[in-house]
Structure 1
C-alpha cells in the first residue's frame, strides 16, 4: 500500500494566512498535488510575517512562518478580480478535485468563485471552505483569526486562566488553532473524496476555527454543560488533583518539571516510591489504599516534591525509564525538537533548508516527505504552460496584470 494515499488528487488552494493553507499542506503530505493561488502583486500576507515575539527571521531567506503551512505546494500569482485571471482560475478548477478557500461569502460572490461558479465548470469538484465562525448564523460573514475564534471564543483561553490572574493566558505559539483546524479540514476533505469515490457525488466541506476550538474543548464543554459549571483552572504551582498525589507536576533540581498522570494511585504507589528512593513510604499506613492516598494527598505531594527536587530532569529521565506508570518531561518548543522519541517516529522531518513538524498522520509506519514552500508565484509560468498557454499569451497576461 502506498504511504501517500492521495496520490493523483489535485487541489486548487485559494487561501491565505495559516488555517486553510495548513489544511492544504496536510493534503500535500498525504500525496495530493496542491496549487496555491496568491494575489498577483501582494501574495499571501503571511509572507510578510518575519517576527513573532522575540523570534525574528531574515526576510530575504526561508521563513518558517510561510513554510509550515505551504510546504510542497506550487505557487501561482493570479489576480482573480481581473477577468483574464479569473479565466485561468476556472481552467485550473476544471482539472481539480478540490477547491480549497478561506474567502468570506461576500468576497466569493463578488469575485464569482462561489460553489455554483466553480461547479459550473466542474460539477464533481469538492468545495472546501475554512471560516472563522462557521457557514451559518448572523456572524457567518465575519472574519477572524485563531486568537479570536479558536482560542478566545472557543473557550480554551478562559478555561486555562486561573481566577485572580491578571489578564488571559495567550496561545502557546503562532498558528496554534490554525494548525489544529487545518488538520480537521484536511480530514474532512479526505472523507469527502472517499464519499465521492463511493457515490459519485461531491460534497461541500466546512470547518471553522470556532468549531475546531469548541471541539478541542469538547470533553470539558460536555462536562460543564452536564454539571452546569465552567472549568476552573488551577493556579500554577498548585497541585491540581485534590485526591491523587500521582497526578500533577513536580519540580526537579534544575528547575524543570516532570508530569505524572497515574489515575490509579494505589496501583503505582509502590513503584513510584522505589524510583524516587523512598521505599520507606511503600508500607506507610497513610498510603495503604486508594482511599487513604486520597485522604493524605497533601502529605503525599509534599513528600514527592521533596524527592523530585533532589535530582535534575536528566537524572530523573534515566531513573524513571523503568517506571510503570505514565509520566513525561515538560518540554518547550525547542526542547521537543531534540526528544529522541519524537525523532524515532520522524515527527520532525527535513524539508531542505529547515526542519518542519510533520503532520501527525502516518500511513504504513512511514513518515511523510517534506518539500520546501514555494517562493511567491514561482511556478506561475510552469503551471500555465501545463494548461496549454504559450509564451506569447503568458506575456500578454503579465502585461494585463492578470498574472505575476
Structure 2
C-alpha cells in the first residue's frame, strides 16, 4: 500500500493494515516529513517521554518511510513508479493539492489502472466543502455533533480527547480497503473508497440523528441517576469514591440475583419492587437504597462481591488503568513496542485479531528511513536513485 497522507486520521488506517499484514510505504515530504513529527518540538507532545514521540508512533507503526518532494518532476515519477506495484493508494490530501501534485485518481490510475484509490477527508468528496481542510476536532467532534451530544446542557462544549475521531476513522478506512480488495478479487472491478470524519460522526450518532427527525426537537429520553427508569442500569459510588456501572436491561431476570449478592435479599419479596413496572414506579427509593449499599464497601471489596454476578457490570476506569486490566493483558490489547532507536513504550493496537493471534506491533519509521530500500525494491536502479537525490526529488 502506498500512503501519501499526514497527521493521524488516514495514516492510522495504514497502521491498522500494517498490523493486518500489509506492506505500507509512507510517502513523507522530503523536507521535514509528516508535519506531525514537529509536534514534539512545538510543545504539544512532551519531549521527556524517553524519546518516544507517541503522536508519530501511534498512527505510523509498522510502516516504511520514504522522503519525496512531490513538487518536483522526479518526485512525481517516483510515486508513479511505486504505484505500479501497489494494490492500494491512500491519501489525505485535498482535491486541489492532489491535482497540483499529480497524485489524483487519474494520475495514479495512469500508472496502475487496477489500483484501489482511497481518500480520507473532513467533509466528503462532493459539495462545497469538499476542498475544505478538516480535523477530527472540527469535522467529527464539532460539526459532526459528537461534542454537543456528550456535553451537559448549559455548559461550554467539552474538549475532544486526542485523535478520538481520527483513530475510529482510520479503522473505518482499513475496513473499507479490505472490502475493496475483496471486491476486486471477486469481481475484477477496482474501487475509489471514501471515508469522511463528518460521515463517521453521523454514523456514530445514528440514534440521536434518527430521533431528531422522528420526534422533531425532542431529544432522546434523558434521566439522571436518581430517576433512572431501571435501577439495574446506572453508576453507583463506592466507599472509596470509585464507580461501578450496572448494565442489566432485563431487570426481572437479574433483580433477585443482584439483591442477594449485595446483601439485600429482603428486597426480592418487597412488593414495591416485585416486577419491572413496580420498580419503575418506585425507582427513586430503590436507587436510594442501592446507593447506600454500594457506599458501604470499597471498590476492591465490590470486585469480589460481584464476581459471581451473571449480569453485565464493570468498573469505571481511567485510561491509565487499562494496561493493568487482566482482560487487556490476557488478550494482548496493549503490547510493548519499541521505537527505531530502541525506546520501549506501550501501545494499544487495533482490536481485530485473526486466529487468536495477538498483534505484535513494530515501531514507526524515522523520516525517510527506507527511501533507498523501497526504490530498489521497486526496480529503480542506483543510478536513477542518485539522480533523484541530486535533483532533490527524494531524501
TM-score w.r.t. structure 1 length?
0.92
Q: Quick one: distance in 1 between partners of 2:67 and 2:187?
A: 35
Aligned counterpart for 1:227 among listed residues 212, 215, 239: 215
Cα separation, partners in 2 of 1:142 and 1:230, compared to 1, 3 Å? farther
How far is the alpha carbon of 1:378 from its aligned partner?
0.7
Instruction: Give the aligned partner of residue 291 of structure 2.
Output: 305
Question: How many residues end up aligned between the 2 structures?
Answer: 390
Structure 1 ranges of 4+ moved more than 6 A: 51-55
RMSD: 2.0
How far is the alpha carbon of 1:60 from its aligned partner?
7.9
Aligned counterpart for 2:164 among listed residues 153, 176, 188: 176
Cα separation, partners in 2 of 1:228 and 1:222, compared to 1, 3 Å? same
Instruction: Give the aligned partner of residue 176 of structure 2.
Output: 188
Q: Is the 8 A contact 2:3 2:91 kept in 1?
A: yes
Cα separation, partners in 2 of 1:55 and 1:395, compared to 1, 3 Å? closer
The SS at the match of 1:357 is: coil
Instruction: Give the aligned partner of residue 81 of structure 1.
Output: 71
Instruction: Give the aligned partner of residue 325 of structure 2.
Output: 339
The SS at the match of 1:322 is: coil
Instruction: Give the aligned partner of residue 341 of structure 2.
Output: none
Instruction: Give the aligned partner of residue 203 of structure 1.
Output: 191
How far is the alpha carbon of 1:174 from its aligned partner?
0.9
Where do residues 1-400 of structure 1 align in structure 2 (5 Å cutoff)?
11-50=1-40, 56-58=46-48, 61-165=51-155, 167-171=156-160, 173-229=161-217, 231=219, 238-239=224-225, 242-352=228-338, 353-400=344-391
Q: Quick one: distance in 1 between partners of 2:304 and 2:128?
A: 56
Q: Is the 8 A contact 2:3 2:14 kept in 1?
A: yes
Q: Is the 8 A contact 1:351 1:371 kept in 2?
A: yes
Q: Is the 8 A contact 2:45 2:55 kept in 1?
A: no
How far is the alpha carbon of 1:80 from its aligned partner?
1.0
Q: Quick one: distance in 2 between partners of 1:317 and 1:55?
A: 36
The SS at the match of 1:341 is: helix
The SS at the match of 1:325 is: coil
The SS at the match of 2:70 is: coil
The SS at the match of 2:244 is: strand
Q: Quick one: distance in 2 between partners of 1:55 and 1:80?
A: 28
